[in-house]
Chain A
């Protein structure tokens, strides 16, 4: 067994690996060990880990199957990365209908977490643009799933955390795009109330919106930050506007002291002030707009050997402002800072998955260096607020939520459990359900 960590590097587990190679002949029956599909391990916590059991790595399921250049429909194997898809489709004027904040995830992973992007308010989740896929189960079944065939399994698998079977291939609808460039605006806002106003006004005619916030600002400035909105540009920047390929990389772990409360406070301040005039416009390549973090390979190593946590929650819009205020107050008071704190309003397009995380409301995502027990205590307190508000925490980013919290956030989990493949499980699933 080899030692594995996910993106957040918490926890480290021992597990066996299996590499299915060809979609037509692969079989995952009867392994004598519980299986979990694994894409590129870009989930932060333990939802892509399977301690003492086996993961089924999809890196060799990386064939394209069909690309309809006229209709913008792509069928490919589940281990194909969104980066590879973009490389193929962008030159033909197509783009992913939904993309998360990194392109280094697989199609299988994007389905299993029903991922969302900066255009959730207009496009919904990744699963909204999925037309069909094939599911292979440890029982030996091979199911063709779509909204009309094996529809229940289709819904269970979208956002199904890899527990319903191995997706071998999937078909997605792409969206038309004029150029690989983006027009964007960055606007400074002084507090949370201003964020809500900006969100309201921008979501109407900007395809992509998101805000970065300074989570350590208190009092009057609580929730201040930068609002970023963008859309695909009609103008080609220049013939040579191609982005330089890779890129910086963190070759080793940074010493743990590099990211501490003081450096984070400083970073937040500087970042906030970077926008002097309070407003700026830009025209740039889609990679720098969608995937700013991808330009630093292995940036997760910045947090050192001890790893880091991400806390992403979502609360309903109704009293969203009040709850986000409370959460930010608690975080600021704890003094434990976050480098990247992101705020985004989700729209009301229904997520197709049974267990999908996105629902209408406001989502807040924060990274924290691993401060140990006091951080875990803070998370527990945040959870209490989110539970009360009838919100949820995102399993793809989680390494610590309690079984009680999970079952509160996802009461439908028992129904979902009926669709789970009996030969599949994950460290996360055992932790939050005891199954």
Chain B
């Protein structure tokens, strides 16, 4: 019976991951900033047959809350096997260009606060000598584009951080998974026109669970984004800078 902490549990992708783990009989802690929404998710999982679900309401962007949250989760779960960090926000790029304050706020949500969280979680797991840390980054972090580079910078920074962390913990029995989804149809992307490359949160969740089980290092979801990003990364900067992306 796995013991799982999901941070940002109201995310559409995280919810689908939780549903899969419920079917596997896992114990779950759901952390997030909005208590009412978290209870909607928890009730759903309970109706689906979850044996043990706990809600933890936390201001995730404030590192001072992290220690307590992790402790409560470990107490409830009686241990901790896996953590999924799913929260994130898609910034208004123009607003960020106009206001450094806004930019810093987005960097905090998508990068700095996650790093703070991972620092604690990593040390705990390192001490215990086992565990899986799965974190949702994004293909947007693979290359900076004018339309979305604040988000890209945060996710790119996060991916590099995870790479280093994985390297550090590889010999300590702790596994670090970087998840890089492409276009996913969720509330975050409600205003986008959906084309062929779009997939459901359910599809991405299946990919995440599989990657966690198989101890993969970096997964693109769906898989074809690895190829797409390979091409995008290979365009010489000289040309790339003139493209409208």
Q: Tell me the smallest distance from the CB of B234 to a CB of chain A, in Å.
A: 33
Contact B41 A63 (CB under 8 A): yes
Task: Say yes or no: is B47 at the interface (Cβ < 8 Å to chain A).
Answer: yes
Within 8 A of A (CB), among B1-24: 12
Within 8 A of B (CB), among A359-384: none
Complex CA distance for A76 and B12, rounded to whole angstroms:
17
Nearest-CB residue, chain B, relative to A68: B47
Contact B40 A66 (CB under 8 A): no
Given contacts A63-B44, A65-B43, 15 further A-B contacts (CB under 8 A): A19-B187, A19-B190, A21-B187, A22-B37, A23-B40, A24-B40, A60-B12, A60-B187, A64-B47, A66-B43, A66-B46, A67-B47, A74-B47, A88-B47, A88-B48
Within 8 A of A (CB), among B28-68: 36-37, 40-41, 43-44, 46-48
Q: Tell me the smallest distance from the CB of B15 to a CB of chain A, in Å.
A: 9
Complex CA distance for A74 and B47, rounded to whole angstroms:
9
- Given A19-B190, A21-B187, the answer on whether A66 and B47 have CB atoms closer than 8 Å is yes
The contact sample of 5 A-B pairs, CB cut-off 8 A, is A19-B190, A25-B36, A63-B41, A66-B47, A74-B47
Contact B40 A63 (CB under 8 A): yes
The B interface is mostly helix, strand or loop, or mixed, namely helix
Complex CA distance for A395 and B44, rounded to whole angstroms:
33
Contact A65 B44 (CB under 8 A): yes
Residues in A with CB closer than 8 Å to B36 are: 22, 24-25
Contact A64 B187 (CB under 8 A): no
Nearest-CB residue, chain A, relative to B187: A21
Complex CA distance for A76 and B40, rounded to whole angstroms:
11
Residues in A with CB closer than 8 Å to B41 are: 63
- Given A19-B187, A19-B190, A21-B187, the answer on whether A64 and B43 have CB atoms closer than 8 Å is yes
Interface size class of A (residues with CB under 8 A): 10 to 19
Q: Tell me the smallest distance from the CB of B97 to a CB of chain A, in Å.
A: 28
Residues of B within 8 A of A (CB): 12, 36-37, 40-41, 43-44, 46-48, 187, 190
Contact B48 A24 (CB under 8 A): no
Complex CA distance for A66 and B43, rounded to whole angstroms:
7
Q: Tell me the smallest distance from the CB of A353 to a CB of chain B, in Å.
A: 27
Contact B40 A22 (CB under 8 A): yes
Q: Tell me the smallest distance from the CB of A26 to a CB of chain B, in Å.
A: 11
Contact A64 B37 (CB under 8 A): no
Give 8 nearest A-B pairs by CB, closest first. A64-B47, A63-B44, A67-B47, A64-B44, A24-B36, A21-B187, A63-B40, A65-B43
Contact B37 A24 (CB under 8 A): yes
Q: Tell me the smallest distance from the CB of A105 to a CB of chain B, in Å.
A: 19
Complex CA distance for A19 and B41, rounded to whole angstroms:
18
Residues in B with CB closer than 8 Å to A21 are: 187
Nearest-CB residue, chain A, relative to B45: A64
Q: Tell me the smallest distance from the CB of B186 to a CB of chain A, in Å.
A: 9
Residues in B with CB closer than 8 Å to A88 are: 47-48
Nearest-CB residue, chain A, relative to B185: A59
Within 8 A of B (CB), among A17-73: 19, 21-25, 60, 63-67
Complex CA distance for A25 and B48, rounded to whole angstroms:
23
Nearest-CB residue, chain A, relative to B39: A24
Interface centre among B36, B37, B41, B44 (most CB of A within 10 A): B44
Q: Tell me the smallest distance from the CB of A1 to a CB of chain B, in Å.
A: 12
Contact B187 A65 (CB under 8 A): no
Contact A65 B190 (CB under 8 A): no
Complex CA distance for A294 and B195, rounded to whole angstroms:
25
Q: Tell me the smallest distance from the CB of A16 to a CB of chain B, in Å.
A: 12
Q: Tell me the smallest distance from the CB of B49 to a CB of chain A, in Å.
A: 8
Interface centre among A19, A22, A60 (most CB of B within 10 A): A22
Complex CA distance for A19 and B190, rounded to whole angstroms:
8
Complex CA distance for A23 and B10, rounded to whole angstroms:
13
Contact B190 A63 (CB under 8 A): no
Q: Tell me the smallest distance from the CB of A337 to a CB of chain B, in Å.
A: 37
Q: Tell me the smallest distance from the CB of B25 to a CB of chain A, in Å.
A: 14
Complex CA distance for A19 and B46, rounded to whole angstroms:
25
